[in-house]
Amino acid sequence: MRIVIPFKKENAKSRLSGVLTPDERGMLAMKMLQDVLDATDGFAVDILTPSVFNDARIDPHILWSDSGLNDALNEYLSKVAEYGCDPVMIVMADLPLLKRRYVREIATSDADLVIAPGKGGGTNILSIKDPSRFSTDYYGTSFLDHLRIAHDNGLSVEVYDSFAAATDIDEPDDLVELLIHGTGEAARALVDIGFVVAVRDGRAEVERLSHTPHPP
Amino acid sequence: MRIVIPFKKENAKSRLSGVLTPDERGMLAMKMLQDVLDATDGFAVDILTPSVFNDARIDPHILWSDSGLNDALNEYLSKVAEYGCDPVMIVMADLPLLKRRYVREIATSDADLVIAPGKGGGTNILSIKDPSRFSTDYYGTSFLDHLRIAHDNGLSVEVYDSFAAATDIDEPDDLVELLIHGTGEAARALVDIGFVVAVRDGRAEVERLSHTPHPP
């Protein structure tokens, strides 16, 4: 099993620009990536990226590609298939609630394809037993597209039902989930910035305490 | 194990009033309740409600109470504790993605308290081994409040990680999840009304096709 994590540093998490500065968004994206690296520890991990890093933890995993997401991933799947056909698990980089247990459970499934849905029809994790028999189609309602591709290729499918795996961090409301359920680096970074959860009209929202001192 | 489902028919799902008429909201709420009854089939189920029904499927389960949610549930827990202390599972009525498998898994947990979080810090399912040792505190970030109550009472806790159980239907965006992942009565009702999933700027939204004929 190889794990591949697509990641782009530039203009990361633009839908959080209402609540985080560009630097903070970049920092949060890196912390989330580190949480995903923690969850995938023990596997052979490639970070598929068009970005350049200078980070001792990230650099050994870098696989550079400036293709778009689907092209880069499908080139990757072809390469893996060519060199011996290991199973491949594609894990999104913005899943800071992911735990090792979930990754191990997905890795040991008997299905040809395991798919962990994201919110809004997205796909957060895809585990592909035979990468020569599948290609990705991310964006839009990719969950449905991936089910269709699996069906067209005669693959058995397991839908991996997990709130943690479904929680990708894109919008301010998602930060509520990270603050409430997170235990890793990204959650700590949010707390350090000064975010708290406030309840307004019965709904939980994130609020930034301006008087919170910056961490040393 | 007894299962209790709090349910209120009046002005159901008011946050969906931008996309559904009052009648449609009431109908959707009933269909979701029926999906939850399907998922809890085989258990002794009480529907705790201030409403009056005339529905052969619902009526045998009705336990009437006009107290607020927490008062009604805590009176219920006290009564169950008084009459022999069965375990109690509290299941919200707006979980149309719930499946029997999840309910059975939660029912067979060894933990004193099993809690399935909802979005935004909510609590969608609570399974309480000894109802004399727990009281509910719904609304706001009830997930955190319930963890605290369990801790204060020395109870062991299992957080039940499920996207299906976390998906309570409150807002238009939630209807996307119901259309994409639902297989029960509520999902069919949405399709019958004429809802489809449309992708705009990379995000999935529900769209109502006005030319869709009403079902017979």
**Which domain covers residue A185, as residue numbers?**
172-208
Q: Is A53 found in the same domain as A129?
A: yes
Q: Is A85 found in the same domain as A144?
A: yes
Determine the pLDDT at residue A214: 52
Please indicate whether, in this complex, the C-beta atoms of B121 and A180 are within 8 angstroms of each other.
yes
Token pair in block for residue B61:
């389960």
Over the stretch B5-58, which tens digit does the pLDDT of each residue have? Answer: 999 988 889 999 999 999 999 999 999 999 999 999 999 999 999 988 888 888
Q: Is A159 found in the same domain as A183?
A: no
Average pLDDT over residues A155-162: 98
Please indicate whether, in this complex, the C-beta atoms of B140 and A164 are within 8 angstroms of each other.
no
A215 falls within a domain: no
- The pTM (predicted TM-score) of the whole model is 0.94
Average pLDDT over residues B143-172: 97
Please indicate whether, in this complex, the C-beta atoms of B120 and A176 are within 8 angstroms of each other.
yes
**Angle, nearest 10°, between helix axes A100-107 and A22-39?**
50
Chain B residue nearest residue A139, CA to CA: B202
Please indicate whether, in this complex, the C-beta atoms of B202 and A139 are within 8 angstroms of each other.
yes
In chain B, what is the greatest distance between 2 CA atoms, to the nearest angstrom?
57
**Chain B stretch 24-63, residues whose beta carbon is closer than 8 A to a beta carbon of chain A:** none
Average pLDDT over residues B125-138: 97
Q: Is B143 found in the same domain as B49?
A: yes
Average pLDDT over residues A139-153: 96
A124 falls within a domain: yes
Q: Give the other-Cβ count within 10 Å of A186's Cβ.
A: 27
CA B93 – CA B124 distance, rounded (Å):
9
Average pLDDT over residues B58-71: 93
Determine the pLDDT at residue A156: 98
Q: Share the mean pLDDT of chain A.
A: 94
A95 falls within a domain: yes
CA distance B112 to chain A (A): 20
CA distance B82 to chain A (A): 32
Over the stretch B110-120, which tens digit does the pLDDT of each residue have? Answer: 999 999 999 99
Determine the pLDDT at residue B216: 43
Helix, strand, coil content of chain A in percent (nearest 5): 40, 20, 40
Please indicate whether, in this complex, the C-beta atoms of B143 and A117 are within 8 angstroms of each other.
no
| Per-residue DSSP letter, A215 | P
Q: Is B149 found in the same domain as B182?
A: no
Over the stretch A20-72, which tens digit does the pLDDT of each residue have? Answer: 999 999 999 999 999 999 999 999 999 999 988 888 888 889 999 999 999 99
Count: domains in chain A: 2
pLDDT band at A210 (very low <50, low <70, confident <90, very high): low
Q: Is A84 found in the same domain as A44?
A: yes
CA A143 – CA A113 distance, rounded (Å):
12
Cβ contacts from A onto B, under 8 A:
67
Determine the pLDDT at residue A216: 42
Q: Is A117 found in the same domain as A22?
A: yes
Q: Is A184 found in the same domain as A114?
A: no
Q: Is B121 found in the same domain as B94?
A: yes
A149: domain CATH number? 3.90.550.10
Given the DSSP bridges, would you call strands B123-128 and B113-117 parallel, antiparallel or unpaired? antiparallel
Determine the pLDDT at residue A9: 87
CA A29 – CA B126 distance, rounded (Å):
33
CA distance A208 to chain B (A): 17
CA A119 – CA B177 distance, rounded (Å):
7
Q: Is A102 found in the same domain as A189?
A: no
Q: Is B201 found in the same domain as B123?
A: no
A213 falls within a domain: no
A216 falls within a domain: no
A176 falls within a domain: yes
Whole-angstrom CA distances from A172 to A17, B71, B201 are: 9, 33, 18
Average pLDDT over residues B62-82: 95
pLDDT band at B210 (very low <50, low <70, confident <90, very high): low
Q: Is B198 found in the same domain as B119?
A: no
**Chain A residues whose beta carbon lies within 8 Å of the beta carbon of residue B165:** 163
Please indicate whether, in this complex, the C-beta atoms of A204 and B140 are within 8 angstroms of each other.
yes
A17 falls within a domain: yes
Instruction: Say whether pLDDT at A212 is over 60.
Output: no
Determine the pLDDT at residue B87: 97
B216 falls within a domain: no
Q: Which of B141, B165, B180 sits opposite A197 (nearest CB)?
A: B141
